């Protein structure tokens, strides 16, 4: 990734993120304030959606199971566009022992929020990511991107594969499950 090229995209992408989030929040009304996913509609005809793409890859079985239990499969089959930062099965295996089982036991609680924290409500290609970029997730909290020595990270996860296309967005593969910040209060 050419850093000079990426710096030129910082302002337009930030504007796109703000505009997209504003449109998403106004389209979802109350759903956005309760961290519910946006309404679901069918993906464009032809090709396969984000969920089918993840299933076909074969390295996201834990993610697919979690999405099913949390009731988010239909959301990610919606028209989008979405950018999903998809943790591999190995990423889920890094979680502290017992945590995944606890999350799966209460899928509409913390698991739901964690999964939505991995989704942006717009399509962001790898070439658009800049060092220091911040983006609001569907969950509502912000993720942070860093680029150092050619390694691109989202929070504390390394992005290991990028721009996997689906009919309703993109998947970027990450090596660690990212957790939203704890609610203040």
pLDDT at 169 over 80: yes
| Domain residue ranges of the chain, discontinuous segments joined by + | 3-174
Say how far apart CA 2 and CA 53 lie, in whole Å.
28
Give the pair of three-digit tokens for residue 21.
């989030």
pLDDT at 155: 97
Sheet arrangement for strand 82-87:
119-120, 82-87, 169-174, 157-166, 151-154, 142-148, 134-136
Assess contact for 50 and 80: CB atoms under 8 A.
yes
Say how far apart CA 26 and CA 143 lie, in whole Å.
21
| CATH number for the domain running over 3-174 | 2.30.180.10
Instruction: Note the pLDDT tens digit of each residue in 51-75.
Output: 999 999 999 999 999 999 999 999 9
């Amino acid at each position: 990734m050419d850093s000079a090229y990426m710096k030129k995209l910082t302002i337009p992408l930030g504007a796109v993120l703000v505009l997209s989030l504003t449109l998403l929040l106004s389209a979802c009304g109350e759903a956005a304030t309760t961290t519910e996913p946006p309404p679901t509609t069918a993906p464009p005809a032809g090709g396969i959606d984000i969920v089918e793409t993840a299933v076909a890859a074969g390295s996201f079985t834990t993610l697919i199971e979690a999405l099913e239990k949390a009731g988010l499969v239909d959301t990610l089959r919606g028209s989008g566009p979405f950018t999903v930062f998809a943790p591999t099965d190995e990423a889920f295996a890094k979680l502290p022992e017992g945590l995944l089982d606890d999350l799966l036991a209460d899928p509409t609680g913390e698991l739901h929020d964690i999964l939505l924290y991995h989704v942006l409500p717009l399509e962001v290609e790898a070439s658009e990511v800049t060092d220091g970029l911040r983006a609001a997730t569907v969950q509502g909290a912000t993720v942070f991107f860093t680029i150092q020595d050619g390694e691109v990270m989202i929070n504390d996860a390394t992005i290991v594969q990028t721009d996997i296309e689906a009919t309703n967005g993109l998947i970027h593969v990450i090596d660690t499950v990212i957790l939203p910040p704890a609610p203040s209060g």
